[in-house]
Chain A
Amino acid sequence: MRRGAGLQGGSSGVVVDGRTDGPNLAVELCGIPLRTPLIPASGTLSKEALGEVEGIYGAMLPKTTTPVARAGNPPPRVAETPAGMVNSIGLQNPGVERFLQDLDAFDIGVPILVSVAGDTVADFGALCERLAEDDRFSAVELNLSCPNVECGGLAFCAGPASVEEVVASCRSAVSGKPILAKLTNEGVVENARAAEGAGADGLTIMNTIPALTVDARARKVLVRGGLSGPAVKPVALRAVYDVSSVVGVPVVGSGGVVSGTDVAEFMLAGATAVQVGTASFVRDPREILDEFAAYLQEVGLGASELTGALRDIRPTMTGGRADDILTR
């Protein structure tokens, strides 16, 4: 790869905010300027690990907060699977008041997005009202798809009606700040339409996929939780691709991103920004950003030009029209 002047120096070797002749990594998400399209997936970056991430992410996204503290699920909570892991953390968090006390720790000079979850629609609404008073964050992500809690969680993605109800409730509670609905893969297109219709400004696609690991020797369930990691990437890509072709709001891709090429694939499939989660446990995410910058340099595009920029005709269930095929 040719290394331009703009790629020299600096810890990650990339240029942000469109300066000089290096690749332009900046994107805009729901009106929020991001200096890179990478966002840590909620629940995958602790404040203890923030020292290592300067310059990598375009926005910060701490672990989901709930109205009151949650102890989380009993261990074992994680199990490795081929090219991934299953977790069942159960939204362990200190509750929204403590969360807001600690929020400054997540201020690393980029916009902060806040992930919220509740057991009920009323919980979501109340949480959003509480957050609406705080001006330290730029947007809210509604976690409508946690597979590891007894109440709420995935149930909010049971169908368009429940998605619509909870998004509408949050929409009226938080005026003036974008809200993103984080959806599960199951039924994602209908749920995405419902979220958009209820006023969501963006969508995060997707959460972990419900999964199970079994210890055959002990004859026990090891972890019943959600699968993440590269194993889920094709599923997430398909969901991002299908959703972004039917909604007008921006989509944040999430699921199995471990490389700069993965970031590019999600953006080409329609994502405006991309979340890095489990990968940050096994790699320095700076390498992912560097690889992505190298990709942009190679193709001669800026990050924001990548969204939906696939060259081929979108394949359809009917095989496409004859004139589409002839133009290939």
Chain B
Amino acid sequence: MKFYTVQVEERRELGSYTLLRYRWNDGSVEPGQFVMARAAGYPVTLDPFLARPFSFYDYDGEMASLLFEVRGRGTELLDLASTIEVTAPLGKGFAIEPDLGRAALLGGGIGVAPLKVLGRRLDALGVPYDVFLGFADAGFAVVAQEFAGAQVATMDGSVGTHGTVLDAAATLEDYRAIYSCGPNPMLAAVKLAAGESSICQLSVEERMGCGNGSCNGCVVPVRGGGYVRSCVEGPVFRAEVLAW
């Protein structure tokens, strides 16, 4: 896997999350795509050994940004680094459905990340949408300020509706286009709540080894049996494809 060394141009704390920005001029970024990223220094840093997958939070044609939570050594080092290493954009992002009326965007926790760049794309296409975001607590919910007009829910009730993102959304049945990213149990609930005639796309979260389809580590179960790779066939899937 080819990694590119880039400077961190901006680092911002958004409550419990960190936002990193770097310059990316080497090809387009589709909403829902991801990169494998790590602090620079390989091969000195054999621990952590693997890079980490991150959905693009935003991309304006010049600057790309990633949103993450420090959860272990890999993200700790990433949080401190002034130089990072990233792959080219990977995976299959959201297929934009511009003709299905008002869209619903649902994000849970760090799964809010790809909704920012998706919103940017929908804005450009003139597609109206509503944003629903769910978080564990107020610390994580700080990032919601970056999503104008978002309906927010927190599990501890400290901000917005007390409950999950689906409690913030009330009903999804009126939406024919639904885009969602979050923990897999949340995505399964979104799939259930989505109207039968809707096109519901889910960006899954899986542990990854390589990010380019080689290791078969990041699979998700699909209807009809078997598994597909979330890094190549996904990370965005049509809801009906997944065996959840």
Q: Is the CB of B207 within 8 A of A48?
A: no
Q: Is the CB of B50 within 8 A of A80?
A: yes
Q: Is the CB of B2 within 8 A of A281?
A: no
Instruction: Give bound CA distance, A45 to B213, whole Å.
Output: 8
Known: A45-B214, A87-B209. A75 touches B50 (CB 8 A): no
Nearest chain A CB to B164 CB, angstrom units: 21
Q: Is the CB of A284 within 8 A of B219?
A: no
Q: Is the CB of B214 within 8 A of A78?
A: no
List which B186-244 residues lie within 8 A (CB) of chain A.
206-221, 225-227, 232
Q: Is the CB of A52 within 8 A of B208?
A: no
Instruction: Give bound CA distance, A63 to B42, whole Å.
Output: 27
Q: Is the CB of A229 within 8 A of B227?
A: no
CB-defined contacts of A48 to chain B, threshold 8 Å: 212-214, 232
Q: Is the CB of A85 within 8 A of B50?
A: yes
Instruction: Give bound CA distance, A282 to B1, whole Å.
Output: 6
Q: Which of A76, A78, A286 has the most CB of B within 10 A?
A: A78
Known: A44-B214, A46-B213, A92-B219. A283 touches B43 (CB 8 A): yes
Contact of B26 with A by CB under 8 A: no
Q: Is the CB of B213 within 8 A of A80?
A: no
Q: Is the CB of A281 within 8 A of B213?
A: no
Q: Is the CB of A72 within 8 A of B227?
A: yes
Q: Is the CB of A83 within 8 A of B227?
A: no
Instruction: Give bound CA distance, A48 to B210, whole Å.
Output: 12
List which A34-52 residues lie within 8 A (CB) of chain B.
43-49, 52
Residue from B3, B213, B227 within 8 A of A283 (CB atoms)? B3
Q: Mark A273-312, 1 if CB is under 8 A from B, else 0.
A: 0000010111110100000000000000000000000000
Interface bracket on B: 20 to 34
Instruction: Give bound CA distance, A144 to B162, whole Å.
Output: 55
With CB as the reference atom, state the residue of chain B lying closest to A77.
Answer: B217
Known: A85-B49, A282-B50. A78 touches B208 (CB 8 A): yes
Q: Is the CB of A82 within 8 A of B49?
A: yes
Q: Which of A69, A72, A258, A281 has the most CB of B within 10 A?
A: A281
Q: Is the CB of A49 within 8 A of B214?
A: yes
Instruction: Sort A-B residue pairs by CB-CB distance and give the 10 closest, nearest first.
Output: A78-B217, A281-B210, A46-B213, A83-B46, A48-B213, A46-B214, A284-B2, A78-B209, A82-B47, A71-B226
> 16 more A-B contacts (CB under 8 A) besides A46-B232, A77-B207?
A43-B216, A46-B213, A46-B214, A49-B210, A49-B214, A74-B221, A77-B218, A81-B49, A83-B46, A87-B215, A87-B217, A229-B46, A280-B1, A281-B215, A283-B42, A284-B1
20 contacts across the A-B interface (CB closer than 8 A): A43-B215, A45-B214, A46-B212, A48-B212, A48-B213, A49-B210, A52-B1, A74-B221, A75-B217, A80-B48, A89-B217, A230-B46, A258-B43, A280-B1, A281-B50, A281-B211, A281-B212, A282-B50, A283-B43, A284-B2
